[in-house]
Amino acid sequence: MDLIHCCVRWPWKNFPTSKTSLFQKEERLRHYNPLPLTVPAFSNRMPAQCVFSRIEGKGKRSPPPPPGGAPAKLAAASPVASRKWRSSAHALRGAPRRAQTPGSVTYVQSNLPRRPVPRSPRLRPGGAARAPGAGRTARSHPGAATCPFSAKMALASGVRFAPRALLRPWSSPVELFHHDRYRHHEPPAPVHYEDKHVSVVKVWGGTEPSRYFLITARIHKWPSGILRLGGINGDDISEAPRVCPWARRWVQTASAGPAAALSTGAGPSLPLFLLLAEWVAVMKLRNPPVNALSLELLTELVISLEKLENDKTFRGIILTSDCPRVFCAGLDLTEICGRNPAHCAEYWKAMQELWLRMYLSSLVLVAAINGACPAGGCIIALSCDCRVLADNPKYRIGLNETLLGIIAPFWLKDTYVNTIGHRASEQALQLGSLFPPAEALQVGLVDQVVPEDQVQSTALSEMARWLAVPDHARQLTKNMMRKATADRLLRQRDADTQNFVSFVCRDSIQKSLQAYLEKLRQRKG
Ligand SMILES: CCCCCCCC/C=C\C=C\CC(=O)SCCNC(=O)CCNC(=O)[C@H](O)C(C)(C)COP(=O)(O)OP(=O)(O)OC[C@H]1O[C@@H](n2cnc3c(N)ncnc32)[C@H](O)[C@@H]1OP(=O)(O)O
């Protein structure tokens, strides 16, 4: 199994809603803190609360008037938090402060445990904190209600800040692309640009003046890295570093390319906004020839999932196959054919464990199904939040257990029912149906069917759509939808293992498994 890490760049909540709002208000820009505040990389596994942080820069500034004081509600709630707030607010407005390491992240106020700052600059959380519009979004965002102090209060005290609770789903590139502004907009002429540093993968949005654009670019030095850069045509690229100073190096590297490439119809240069970083892991199943779920592969998967869940820099996993033409052939029949009961029990427990982990994972799981996906393979896919299937009639998906003379356990059945409904499951399970892509889409087994070469990119776009939702809300909702099904297995896990072992160890079942395996081998010949 291969684990590849890639980065989906994320625009900050205050991605400008009009050119005027960002660039023509010189006054605002002048007062704009040249040391922009940032939020830590999305970590909102926690309930919606404010986390304020900033990136320290170099240079001194003249001290502005001291802040008005901590918000009254905060002071009443917690004197310590209030004191912290007071001193942080003071520091933010440029008052003399103790020496701080340039580039370090300072948490201004948080009632959450302080999160570790990733050591690698790649992992450094960041984003542009743009005060304009923050208040507006605060009012409309559900998370704002639970903020220990509101955006309005903070703005009133003169602090420019970036409360995570104000993150707006519509600020994602995909959302922006689907925004009204673009819905009827002709896609731009394809832009090809490649130099030794960067190659443009895709350009979103228009090339007309006053139009936003987003570029997905690949950074060569960083092969799995995908950079999302956004901006408004015709504006000055030199804005980019002030929007996101920690990413200056990348912006400078990238700017010459895409900007030059896009500048033809739009002006001499383009601003690039490199905003919040999100990390997505791409997990490739690699157990040739057919990615059968051997005990080893199951164990690997469980361990990798656990690692990624514990690594707070990740928010999503794209699960795909490294074996040509097969996503996953399901249970490795050699693990349950001719084996002793103890081995079968160990194997089944690993299968349960994987399903439980995937089904209840706090990460967004997207299955990029680039091959056949029968039985256990289908279960892996169904445990994900979203499925993208390659449009190839040979890539069929479904639970075909009955055709092998075996019965899907209740939790596989439940997963099926939860996905495609009772009647469709009843029919498909009894008939052991394996659906070709068009039918799989129709029945609701997959969410998208796309040409084979677009499976990964579509999975990435889907991921962006899912990541646009605040984690805590999405996770709680996922839990609400899936917990009862998972609990059912948790309550009777041992009994389920016993059932499985006694079932597959029956002579008749062993014979039919053997015959099935033989058939598979002969078919190959
Ligand atoms: C009272 C009730 C109690 C509860 C009881 C519960 C019991 C429930 C039990 C089980 C639930 C099971 C779910 C499952 O997942 S069962 C597995 C079902 N899987 C399949 O049916 C898929 C079979 N494979 C295929 O259809 C094809 O191989 C395919 C994936 C479409 C790929 O086709 P192709 O590329 O043409 O590859 P080949 O067919 O030539 O196969 C290449 C070699 O791989 C071997 N193979 C294939 N699948 C498996 C498998 N699942 N396990 C082990 N080995 C597999 C195949 O034999 C070839 O081997 P060789 O190279 O040695 O010839």
Among 465-469, 470-474, 497-501, 514-518, the range with the most confident prediction by mean pLDDT is: 497-501
Answer whether residue 296 is part of any domain: yes
In a domain, 259, yes or no: no
Residue 181 has pLDDT above 50, yes or no: no
Q: Which residues contact 176 (CB under 8 A, 6 or more apart)?
A: 11, 15, 170, 182, 204, 205, 212, 214, 230
Is the C-beta atom of 323 inside 6 A of ligand 1?
A: no
Q: How far is the CA of 331 from the centre of ligand 1 (A)?
A: 7
Whole-number Å distance, alpha carbon 124 to ligand 1 midpoint, is 44
The parent domain of residue 321 ranges over 272-522
* Percent of the chain's residues with pLDDT above 70: 46
What is the reported pLDDT for 462?
A: 86
Q: Is the residue at 162 inside a domain? A: no
| Secondary structure (H, E, C), 256-313 | HHHHHHHHHHCCCCCCCEECEEEEEEEEEECCCCCCCECHHHHHHHHHHHHHHHHCCC
Q: What is the pTM of this model?
A: 0.58
Residue whose Cα lies nearest atom 26 of ligand 1: it is 329
Confidence grade of residue 467 (pLDDT, cut at 50, 70, 90): confident
CA of 442 to the centre of ligand 1 (A): 25
Residue 468 has a pLDDT of: 78
CATH number assigned to the domain comprising residue 322: 3.90.226.10
Residue with tokens 């869940």, as numbered in its chain: 309
| Range from 78-82, 146-150, 442-446 carrying the lowest mean pLDDT | 146-150
Tell whether ligand 1 has an atom less than 6 A from the beta carbon of residue 498: no
Confidence of residue 469 (pLDDT cuts 50, 70, 90): confident
Least confident of 153-157, 272-276, 313-317, 490-494: 272-276
pLDDT tens by residue, 80-93: 444 443 433 333 33
Asked if the structure places residue 13 within a domain, the reply is no
Say how far apart CA 279 and CA 318 lie, in whole Å.
11
Q: With bands split at pLDDT 50, 70 and 90, how would you rate the model's confidence at 218?
A: low
Instruction: Please report the atom of ligand 1 found closest to the CA of residue 400.
Output: 21
Asked if residue 183 belongs to a domain, the reply is no
pLDDT of residue 400: 95
**Domain tally for the chain?**
1
What is the mean pLDDT of the segment spanning 197-225? 49
Q: Which atom of ligand 1 is nearest to the CA of 330?
A: 15
- Asked if residue 51 is part of any domain, the answer here is no
Whether residue 363 is predicted with pLDDT greater than 90 in this model: the reply is yes
In a domain, 398, yes or no: yes
Q: Does residue 264 lie in a domain region?
A: no
Q: Would the CB of 290 count as within 6 Å of ligand 1? A: yes
Q: Which range has the worst mean pLDDT, 122-131, 298-307, 431-440?
A: 122-131
The residue ranking higher by pLDDT, 38 or 278, is: 278
The arithmetic mean of pLDDT across residues 22-39, rounded, is: 31
